[in-house]
């Protein structure tokens, strides 16, 4: 939740004037930090209305398969990459119903934020790291790899500060990178996140991750944790930039 609030707050600060006006007309405000949570908060209801919607949060691109196409790991277009493409098109089309365009905003701000987490862009036959049991340095409790990347290390990086304070601080820290981070397409950004999973999330976890079973419970090292935490400001700020980029283009479309 904390990471999504941060990415939404950063994105809101980077909206163009025309996109902000269109967003307020459609949604009633520009509170992207709160809307970024809805796709998780209302998962059960959304699943009843759209049974495939749980699959929209990730791309299960195989970690250890050199060549794999979107069609291989996105059956029937049910994955994050396809959802982003679909909802960007819906939001750009003023002929669509208001409800459809509101849903598009809610999923775009959430799923583009999910993309910042490399375990939403990769899979090693472990449900995006959910089946990899780990212990954090100095702790005895068993967690899973997905949750520590998604929650624990975001919290560690923010050091308990308010998400608005963090969003402003990180956006200013990376001010010279914002334009470059907005370049490209969501497919490029997903590939970048997948490569981070290959190189860091799994690559620094075990040299043999693609060649043998992972131990039943992995003891994470301090070096691994420190590297992960150090990446969080960049990953979340970059995601906020990309949310804003997609919304700016879609909401400013004359369509």
pLDDT tens for 146-165 read 999 999 999 999 998 999 99
Mean predicted confidence (pLDDT) in 183-206? 90
Q: What is the mean pLDDT of residues 175-190?
A: 94
The mean predicted confidence, pLDDT, of the chain is: 91
Q: Which residue has the tokens 């049910």?
A: 78
Residue 90 has pLDDT above 90, yes or no: yes
Q: Rounded distance, CA 155 to CA 149, Å?
A: 10
CA distances from 48 to 108, 110, 153, 195, 250 (A): 19, 19, 32, 33, 27
Nearest to 74 by CA among 200, 190, 183, 185: 190
Q: What span, in angstroms and rounded, lies between the C-alpha atoms of 45 and 211?
A: 40
pLDDT bracket for residue 123 (50, 70, 90): confident
The domain that holds 25 is classified in CATH as: 1.10.575.10
Position 208 scores a pLDDT of 58
Q: Which structural domain range is residue 11 located in?
A: 2-251
Q: Mean per-residue pLDDT for 111-115? A: 95
Query: Is residue 175 pLDDT above 80, yes or no?
Result: yes
Cβ-count burial 114-145 (b if 16+ within 10 Å, e if not): bbbbbbbbbbbebebbeebebebeeeeeebbb
Q: Using one digit for the tens of pLDDT, what is the confidence trace for 15-73? A: 999 999 999 999 999 999 999 999 999 989 989 998 988 999 999 888 877 666 776 77
E-assigned strand segments in the chain: 133-135, 143-144, 218-219
CA distances in angstroms from 254 to 84, 95, 99, 118, listed in the order given = 19, 11, 19, 34
Q: Tell me the average pLDDT across 104-112.
A: 96
Structure tokens belonging to residue 3:
């990471």
Q: Is the pLDDT of residue 12 over 60?
A: yes
Q: Give the model's confidence band at 172: pLDDT under 50 very low, under 70 low, under 90 confident, else very high.
A: very high
What is the pTM (predicted TM-score) of this model?
A: 0.93
For 215-236, how does the pLDDT look when each residue is reduced to its tens digit (9 = 90+)?
788 899 999 999 999 999 999 9
Own/partner contacts of 158-165, CB < 8 Å, gap of 24 or more, are 158/2, 158/6, 158/232, 163/2, 163/5, 163/6, 163/9, 163/33, 164/9, 164/33
Per-residue confidence band for 209, with pLDDT thresholds at 50, 70 and 90: low
The count of structural domains within the chain is 1
What's the pLDDT score for residue 108?
97
Beta strand ranges found along 110-242 (DSSP E): 133-135, 143-144, 218-219
Return the residue matching tokens 């609030």.
5
Please determine, for residue 253, whether its predicted confidence score (pLDDT) is greater than 90: no
Q: Determine the Cα–Cα distance for residues 181 and 94; give it in Å rounded to an integer.
A: 28
Tokens representing 75 are 């059956």
């Amino acid at each position: 939740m904390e990471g999504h609030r941060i990415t939404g707050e950063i994105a809101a600060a980077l909206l163009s004037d025309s996109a902000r006006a269109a967003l307020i007309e459609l949604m009633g405000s520009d509170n992207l930090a709160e809307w970024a949570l809805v796709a998780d908060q209302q998962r059960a209801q959304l699943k009843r209305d759209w049974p495939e919607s749980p699959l929209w949060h990730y791309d299960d691109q195989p970690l250890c398969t050199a060549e794999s196409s979107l069609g291989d790991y996105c059956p029937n277009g049910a994955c994050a990459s396809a959802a982003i493409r679909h909802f960007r098109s819906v939001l750009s089309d003023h002929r669509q119903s208001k409800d459809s365009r509101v849903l598009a905003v809610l999923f775009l701000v959430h799923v583009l934020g999910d993309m910042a987490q490399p375990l939403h862009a990769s899979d090693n036959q472990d449900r995006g790291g959910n089946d990899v049991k780990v212990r954090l340095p100095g702790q005895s409790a068993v967690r899973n790899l997905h949750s520590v990347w998604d929650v624990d290390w975001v919290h560690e990086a923010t050091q308990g500060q308010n998400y608005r304070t963090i969003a402003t601080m990180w956006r200013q820290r990376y001010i010279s990178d914002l334009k470059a981070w907005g370049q490209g397409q969501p497919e490029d950004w997903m590939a970048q996140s997948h490569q981070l999973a290959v190189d860091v999330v799994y690559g620094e976890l075990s040299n043999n991750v693609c060649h043998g079973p992972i131990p039943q419970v992995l003891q994470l090292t301090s070096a691994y944790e420190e590297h992960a935490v150090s990446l969080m400001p960049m990953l979340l700020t970059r995601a906020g930039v990309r949310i804003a980029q997609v919304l700016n283009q879609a909401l400013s479309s004359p369509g």
